[in-house]
Amino acid sequence: MISKKIVTYLLAALLLAAPVWGQEQTLTLSSALEQALENNYGLIISRADLQVAEINNNWGAAGRYPTIGFDASDNNNYELNNSIYTNRLSAGVGLNWVLFDGFRVNITKSKLENLEDFTSGILAMQVESTIEDIILGYYNVLLQKEQLKVLKTIMNLSDDRYQYELKKKSLGGSVTYNVLQAQNVYLTDKANHMNQDMLVRNSVRNLNYMMGVESSQTWEFTEAFEADTSNYLLADLLSKMKSDNQSLQNQYTNLLLKENETALQQSAYYPSISLGAGMDYGHTWAYSGGAQSLNAETLTPYGNVRLSFDIYSAGVRKRGVEIARINEEVANVEILQMEHALTNELFNLFDFHEVRLELLNVADENMEAAELNLSISEDKYRSGVINSFNYRDVQLIYLSVSYQRLQAVYNLIGSQAGLTRITGGFLGYAAE
């Protein structure tokens, strides 16, 4: 399980100089991750939960130390029959200390430590999720921008064709039908370009939200839109998942908490020994007929030892232990279930990655052919070898192939991020 020190180091190392908002700045993937890990709303809440768990994890909360209290009172009464007024002042300081309670103190302290580890694990999972979301969000912006470039290329080609038809018509070489058809195509491509430009802005705002920065902040994205085409070994990934996956580590900690609960239930079979000590002070005045008739003062120290043992509780302790042991067994089954589910997820992600590698290769080849076909078709259209409908078909093929290649790159990035997360790699990188 990731240690608290690693999480603390990770979060502290990311508190870098704050950027100046309101102007366009360069944004690398690394700086996006830094800002998200510092400002992400979910992480802020998870860090607060960890602070609470750290505060609770101490011997005082576990019950090792005594409690000391003070109390005072001033009582007054008047006896009507004898006309006697009495005032009683009392005060006391007392110490109560449980000396033995069936090892409950040590068990409780162990439970508090495990709770802190579990909360740290929840924070680590939140860190992993945030890193994956930022990676996908950052590259989604690049995907939308690349698609915008493709649509701009198509729009420019349509505009060139429209201007070409207008020029031909002015020279008597074209008719109104061809001009209108070219105009419709150009306007359609222009609308698509405008819609895609809106999607780019939306994707930037979504990324800003995940980073916890102002929605109006604009960036210059510096990373190249490309995927790592490295191959993975399934056996290595499986080994890393079993040793480093944070969800699995949290489940192990959850089992320890169930074991703590069983031990706490068993501690009820032991006697309890407690110590009480203190000092009581009392002062009494009495007045009868306006004259003082009593003035008494007492100072009483005391010390007591108490042994308590629950001989019979109608099966409450037995049922408590049985339920706790059942919960332990359930936790063990949940570990097996999670290992199985994670193994299935890893196999699926690995298969996706292998297929997406091949799909990217196919998309690259297809893209080369589409670009060449578009270039040749443009020349043929201008020379009259093909008509406008054929040329438009080629443009649409180029658009579809370009989108497929861009999506293939993004899908490969997504599968790589998924494999890194499931094997605990994000936290490993961050700890470096």
Backbone angles phi, psi at 396, to 5 degrees: -65, -35
- Is the backbone of residue 212 left (phi > 0), alpha (psi -120 to 50) or beta? left
Phi, psi of 366, rounded to the nearest 5 degrees: -65, -35
pLDDT tens across the length of the chain (432 residues): 344 444 444 444 443 333 444 456 899 999 999 999 999 999 999 999 999 999 999 999 999 999 999 999 999 988 887 788 888 999 999 999 999 998 999 999 999 999 999 999 999 999 999 999 999 999 999 999 999 999 999 999 889 988 988 988 888 877 888 889 889 999 999 999 999 999 999 999 999 999 999 999 999 999 999 999 989 999 999 999 999 999 999 999 999 999 999 999 999 999 999 999 999 999 988 888 777 778 889 999 999 999 999 888 889 999 999 999 999 999 999 999 999 999 999 999 999 999 999 999 999 999 999 999 989 998 888 888 888 888 888 989 999 999 999 999 999 999 999 999 999 988 764 444
**Where in the chain are the domains?**
4-64+103-270+315-431
Sign, CA dihedral 126-129-134-140, equals negative
Q: Which CATH number fits domain 4-64+103-270+315-431: 3.90.230.10, 2.60.40.740, 1.20.1600.10, 1.10.490.10?
A: 1.20.1600.10
- The structure's pTM equals 0.83
363's CB contacts (< 8 A; 6+ apart) are 401, 404, 405, 408, 409
